[in-house]
Structure 1
């Protein structure tokens, strides 16, 4: 039995206080995003916004947030993670206040861009700050609690958004973030200690511009693919711009003395496969909630509130599994947890493949959703811990930014891909009824056609989840690989 010194005890107490700060930031951003998803129709009606403006209220945040994560990971490595993290809280809070005062829809879009920048500063550094604070043998516990807060946002956000929009007005969708943001900023200022900075080096301006432009083009094309089809001019243009910029990014980053995206960091087996596994898990996890919400409304005729309650087993599974797995992480390797979580996710989705029928008992569907949620919570905790443990301290910020960016891209693809597969079984005239959740009111024939689409969507998500499990298995720890190499010699 190893004796616990006063220094160890003091470090652990500080680590849990840090975890409370970073978890608060994750809940703040998660709730802010999920509440607007529910209240978007209310905002659209207020501004009499068209389809373009309505899409950009959500898309602007996702584009800017995803494309700037790596940049703020690098900035924090150079300028200080505490300073960038707290500045993110301040900017996010200010943008939320101004968003509620928006006189026009395009002013609101601009404030959403500022929110996205603040959120990127928070997301790119929260995991890094936790990794620095916790002793290596306790990191999985802290990561389990941190990731478990995702489920809090997913559980509270939709219900909170609907309630606020109906009772207080759409402005409070944004203003509710202000007191929470001020509390997070004050608590973080009080708790977080200054962290060592790397020597001042010039920022890779060209690399940042090219990376932002390429990701924006890619995400715009992916978001349009679900509604406009692969032949849409927006999709074709975005894909062409991305394909053109990709080799330019590689060339610019190889020549840069301080690249924003150091390609050498992703040459290792562990990081490559772990990030690809994370991408697959994000794609399957995010699309699952969307597909099931449409299933309960379009096929079973439930309203939005009832559908929201019906998909709760997913965030409940994530919320229960993450802290439990965090405690198991002291005895079980993150590598094993990643594989186990990915297999659980695939098992849950495989169960749902058998339920594409409006007459399926809910308890069967609920079990599939809960198992898939437990799998995601287990995988996220293990995968994140595995990646963060394997990195040198001076690269944590940029690599974590890349890791979150990869997950965000998976989320974007999941929306376009799942909607395209789901609605491929019905004609163009019925697709609006699917999105509106009113197809069940038309005819049993239309619902039967839609069931074929759900079957295909579940099959795609199951295939993606299986691919994630295989990739997680390939992400063998570097130490183990090194020991095998030395043995073979």
Structure 2
């Protein structure tokens, strides 16, 4: 089917360029609000729980629906669902821009997450259909790179937009990008032939179970539910039961939501686990550091965005270097080194944080190291997955990669938010999210800073686990990797 679609569209890199606009909008919206959260909390008078759900609502819905929309796209057609996702995302962005209250913003972010899930899922599927097999690995590698770069520069864009236009500034920036993505996609993305639509039943039970499972996990971790002592334990128990039920249903279904047979290949399973571990270990650090800077030191949103920019610089530099390094070293080695750099960066951040402003500058080199680790992990891990998966299953494998990566983002954020504010009063928790914790006294500040240190140390330990997962990758030589420089050459040849 990929070759057929490629013949119908002789310029696959134009499709890549068009879908990349949507990816940029989705991932900037995902990470850009982290530095603006204190401003949002203050101006909308949001409670601690509401502040948490402004971030988690978008992430939970996106993560839960990636698998659902991936399956629906196979059944209903990818282009229509992708365009519907773009429209939904863009309309929801406008609603975020108009939000008069925290509840409105949370609802609009949830709707935005619905659209984002359709974009992320079908972006990968459209590339799989459009590119011929010889270019598919490169295209998917570049797709992961675009998403990662948009994600790491999101805080700077969010901070700058907030400084210029208030917290609504982020949505002022994202809205025209969403409109541009719709126009470009309507113009460039080809219609799928009717024969490409799969006439299979939709696994509604699997969809409901997967959504309920993720919701239960997040509720078990979300701050604000501790006023009901038994609720976290109940949600934790429900998570276990739902996970078992989901696995049983998927194994028994003829047309399951998740193709569990991919996990029977050791190489694929290990790469997917590594992607999950890497996302859990690294995603929350920009949130933690930006909250620390604003809550403890009272810096502005734009300063908070600049504070975490070393992560973006390190990611871009390492991702560019990874292509050349992959000609000499296997993904197994490079991903392990990347995870190790992540652990060093997180450990350094934990060690230098203090109650005074001097710690802000001291975090920069460690954030840069963390970014280098993420960039070094990104492309080799995608390459290892593409080279391990059968050629006719690469789209499905990359879809699972995207799902587990988003699960990691969700868990990382939820864990960071709950443990960074554990032990704080409801007033102090709201002040931490609002960037005004320093006004409550040194004891609350010290407790919050200690919590952030402990969370950073825990994430560093997760990254160390990731090193061993990467070292367990198959030892076979994989030099035919996703090479960014070759992708640029292909882009020029296809243009």
The 8 Å contact of residues 25 and 184 in structure 1, kept in 2 or not, is answered as yes
Q: What pairs up with 1:397-416 in 2 under 5 angstroms?
A: 397-416=395-414
Paired with 2:158 and 2:329, the residues of 1 have a C-alpha distance of 38
Q: What's the secondary structure of 1:202's corresponding residue?
A: coil
Q: CA offset at residue 312 of structure 1?
A: 0.9
Q: Which string of whole-angstrom CA distances, capped at 9 and with x for unpartnered residues, describes residues 431-488 of structure 1? A: 55544445556666766665544443332121111111111222327898xxxxxxxx
User: 1:213-228 alignment to 2 at 5 Å?
Assistant: 213-224=212-223, 227-228=224-225
1:273-288 to 2 correspondences below 5 Å: 273-288=270-285
Q: Give the drift of 1:242.
A: 2.0
Residue 346 (structure 1) aligned with residue 308 (structure 2): no
User: 1:375 Cα shift?
Assistant: 0.8
Distance in 1 of aligned mates of 2:349 and 2:41:
34
Residue 439 (structure 2) pairs with residue 456 (structure 1) = no
Deviation at 1:68, TM superposition (A): 0.8
Partner of 1:182: 179
Q: Corresponding residue for 2:4?
A: none
Determine if contact 1:65/1:116 at 8 Å carries over to the other structure: yes
Q: Distance in 2 between the 1:299 and 1:432 partners?
A: 13
State the TM-score, normalizing by the size of structure 1: 0.81
Distance 1:359 1:49 in 2: 27
CA distance 1:392–1:90, change in 2 (3 Å):
farther
CA distance in 2, matches of 1:130, 1:293: 35
Q: What is the deviation of 1:354?
A: 3.9
Task: Point out where structure 1 has 5 or more consecutive residues left out of the alignment.
Answer: 1-9, 481-489
Structure 2 vs 1, CA of residues 351 and 207 (structure 1 numbering), >3 Å: closer, same or farther?
same
> C-alpha distance in 2, partners of 1:430/1:47?
17
Are 1:309 and 2:320 counterparts? no
The secondary structure found in structure 2 opposite 1:339 is helix
- DSSP-derived class of the 1:257 partner: coil
Residues 284-308 of structure 1: per-residue CA shift (max 9 Å, x gap): 2112212222343455554443232
1:64 and 2:61 matched: yes
Q: Distance in 1 between matches of 2:329 and 2:189?
A: 29
Counterpart CA distance in 2 for 1:439 and 1:314 is 25
Measured after TM superposition, the shift of residue 238 of structure 1 is 2.0
State the alpha-carbon separation in 2 of the partners of residues 364 and 109 from structure 1: 34
Question: Is residue 476 of structure 1 aligned with residue 447 of structure 2?
Answer: no
Counting matched residue pairs gives 470
- 1:241 equivalent to 2:242? Answer no
Residues in 2 aligned to 1:302 and 1:159: alpha-carbon distance in whole angstroms: 14
CA distance in structure 1 between the partners assigned to 2:360 and 2:386 by the alignment: 39
How much has 1:101 moved relative to structure 2?
A: 4.8
Corresponding residue number in structure 1 for 2:483: none
**How far apart in 1 are the matches of 2:86 and 2:449?**
44
Q: Does residue 30 of structure 2 align to residue 33 of structure 1?
A: yes
Quick one: distance in 1 between partners of 2:41 and 2:443?
33
The one-character-per-residue Cα deviations of 1:248-290 (angstroms, maximum 9, x if unpaired) are 2223222322111222222221222212211111112112212
Structure 1 stretch displaced more, 323-332 or 398-407: 323-332
Q: How does 1:243-322 map to 2 (within 5 A)?
A: 243-300=240-297, 302-322=299-319
Is contact 1:341-1:378 (8 Å) kept?
yes
Is contact 2:30–2:58 with CA below 8 Å preserved after alignment? Answer: no
Aligned equivalents of 2:166 and 2:359: distance in 1?
37
Q: Please say if residues 230 and 236 of structure 1, whose CA atoms lie closer than 8 Å, have aligned partners that are also in contact.
A: no
In the TM superposition, what is the alpha-carbon distance from 1:353 to its structure 2 partner? 4.4
Match of 2:110 in 1: 113
In 1, the alpha carbon distance for the partners of 2:141 and 2:267 equals 20
TM norm structure 2: 0.80
Residues 394, 360 of structure 1: alpha-carbon distance in 2 compared, 3 angstrom cutoff: same
Q: Distance in 1 between matches of 2:306 and 2:227?
A: 34
Q: Do 2:153 and 2:312's aligned partners in 1 also have CA atoms closer than 8 Å?
A: no
Q: Is the 8 A contact 1:140 1:326 kept in 2?
A: no
Q: Distance in 2 between matches of 1:362 and 1:339?
A: 28
Corresponding position: 1:81 with 2:78: yes
Instruction: Determine the structure 1 residue equivalent to 2:3.
Output: none
